[in-house]
Structure 1
Amino acid sequence: MSEFKQTFNSSLGKKLIMALTGLFLCTFLIVHLGGNLLLFKNDDGYSFNAYANFLTHFPPIEVIAYLLYLCILVHTIYAIILTTRNRRARPVGYAVQTKSPASWSSKNMGILGAILFLFIVIHMGDFWFTYKYNNILGFKEYRTNLVTGERTVTDFKPEYADFENSVATENNVEIVRVKDLHARVAFSFSHLWYVIFYVIAMGAVAFHLLHGFQSAFRTLGWVHRRYTPIVYFIGTWLFAVIIPLGFAAMPVVYFIQSLK
């Protein structure tokens, strides 16, 4: 037990924990982007609101969500510890700066991580906290004809304060009543400052993952001449290009729509 504790208290142990938590967060980004792309469906927020309701009321998902929050905190704390130790180990810079093969993103992981942590705090406060604990959100009622597939949407006012959601079927009509997080998204993304900050944060995500995804595999020792190019390809195009662009497109599109 002491050897196990000593291992994870070492710099290598902390890097291993950062690698594992980082890869878990990468997996979450794929799932999160897939759910958020429902914002682009032209269905008056039905799919996105149903998705948000599922995430916050399905117990296994809630357990994974709290594991996610823990990973974010652990990843951030260990990053701060390692960065501080590295600076203390070399308090004075080299007199002669040699050309280093290290990329810009690898040299600036600290500032990129700080931007992301600030973004996560603001983002979760604006959406997750508002959805779970703030009563400012309204409700939507979606009535779907199960025979024709036609759907109507109206505002819904619950009769009691602690109402969360309901699903019922009457005369071949499915009635879904949920919190209207879609309206909150549209409201937040109608502010130019928020959109700019969101896009900057997604730029930070791109550069952070450009180095972090590949670095995690090296830390874990999963390096092979046959598979390393695949890791680099996935880290570059999926995590540093496609995912950040997918997230950044949402506030931009909603802001443009708010101008019409």
Structure 2
Amino acid sequence: MNTTLVRKIIMAATGLFLCFFLLIHFLGNTQLFLAPEKAQQSFNAYSSFLTGNMLIKIVSYVLYLSILLHALYALIISIKNKKTGGNYAKDTRGRSSKWFSRNMGILGTLILIFLILHFQNFWYVYKFGAVGLDPWGHKDLYTVVTTAFQQGWLVVIYVLAMIALAFHLVHGIVSGVRTLGLFNPKFVRWVSAFATVYSIAICFGFALMPIYIFFIHK
């Protein structure tokens, strides 16, 4: 099998898995919209359950691997396209494609930088930082989150990152489905519509969380 095709298949598979994970992650984080005390109890219990569940740990390792493979193969393909004069190096498709589909490498890089910041702010602190316990005996990740989002600049970064992610997802979902051979021309509009609605809904929800926390805890 062609090496480039294998890379694209891996990118598509990991990308679609990450899209599914985003939905699960978003649903779990909706607890942040509860009243502060209820949110603290519920969110911390949820976080504690995730860290103590073996199945979830295995899924998390798949998640980390997917992020690394997706980023690595995206970089390899981008470099290869640039060297061979491909679309990422010089795109002449003009109006036949959207600007974000021609700049997936840039959007992906911005998202990767954001992920590093996100892991550092929450995952690393929760795993290795001095996080206190809440009144119910769970590590108080809720306070870590609410404290972080009292910084206006961080809220702005998260909102901008979600805008970049939305554009990345709109093209990535359609491209991933097509690469895996699941794309039927008869359903092109439906797939594109789903990708757009899904991307906007998920990213809007994620962007709203830090904004809500910033104002509710003022």
- TM-score interval w.r.t. the shorter chain? over 0.9
User: Residues 134, 98 of structure 1: CA spacing in aligned structure 2 closer, same or farther, 3 A cutoff?
Assistant: closer
Q: Which of the residues 2, 5, 20 maps onto 2:13?
A: 20
CA–CA distance in structure 2, aligned partners of residues 44 and 209 of structure 1: 29
Question: 1:257 aligned to 2:197?
Answer: no
CA–CA distance in structure 2, aligned partners of residues 105 and 97 of structure 1: 14
Tell me which structure has the larger Cα radius of gyration.
1
Could you give the per-residue CA deviations for residues 112-133 of structure 1, whole angstroms, max 9, x where no partner exists? Answer: 1011101111101111111111
Question: 1:31 aligned to 2:24?
Answer: yes
User: Residues 72, 98 of structure 1: CA spacing in aligned structure 2 closer, same or farther, 3 A cutoff?
Assistant: closer
Q: Which residue of 1 aligns with 2:175?
A: 215
Q: Which residue of 1 aligns with 2:125?
A: 130
Question: 1:88 aligned to 2:48?
Answer: no
CA–CA distance in structure 2, aligned partners of residues 225 and 97 of structure 1: 24
Could you give the per-residue CA deviations for residues 52-104 of structure 1, whole angstroms, max 9, x where no partner exists? Answer: 1111110110110011000000000000000000000018x77x956341111
CA–CA distance in structure 2, aligned partners of residues 223 and 69 of structure 1: 27
Q: How far is 1:191 from its partner?
A: 0.2
CA–CA distance in structure 1, aligned partners of residues 53 and 210 of structure 2: 27
SS state of the match for residue 100, structure 2?
A: helix
Counterpart mapping for 1:1-260 below 5 A: 7=1, 10-42=3-35, 43-90=38-85, 97=92, 99-135=94-130, 137-142=131-136, 177-238=137-198, 240-259=199-218
Gaps of 5+ in 2: none
The TM-score with structure 2 as length reference comes to: 0.93
CA–CA distance in structure 2, aligned partners of residues 99 and 198 of structure 1: 30
Q: Report the residue type matching 2:49 in the other structure.
A: F
Q: How far is 1:257 from its partner?
A: 2.0
SS state of the match for residue 195, structure 1?
A: helix
CA–CA distance in structure 2, aligned partners of residues 49 and 258 of structure 1: 17
CA–CA distance in structure 2, aligned partners of residues 124 and 102 of structure 1: 33
Q: Report the residue type matching 2:205 in the other structure.
A: G
Provide the identity percentage.
40
Number of aligned residue pairs: 214
> Is the 8 Å Cα contact of residues 174 and 195 (structure 2) preserved in structure 1?
yes
CA–CA distance in structure 2, aligned partners of residues 210 and 44 of structure 1: 31
CA–CA distance in structure 1, aligned partners of residues 92 and 100 of structure 2: 18
CA–CA distance in structure 2, aligned partners of residues 253 and 36 of structure 1: 12
Q: Report the residue type matching 1:77 in the other structure.
A: L
**Superposition RMSD in Å:** 1.7
Gaps of 5+ in 1: 1-6, 143-176
The TM-score with structure 1 as length reference comes to: 0.78
SS state of the match for residue 207, structure 1?
A: helix
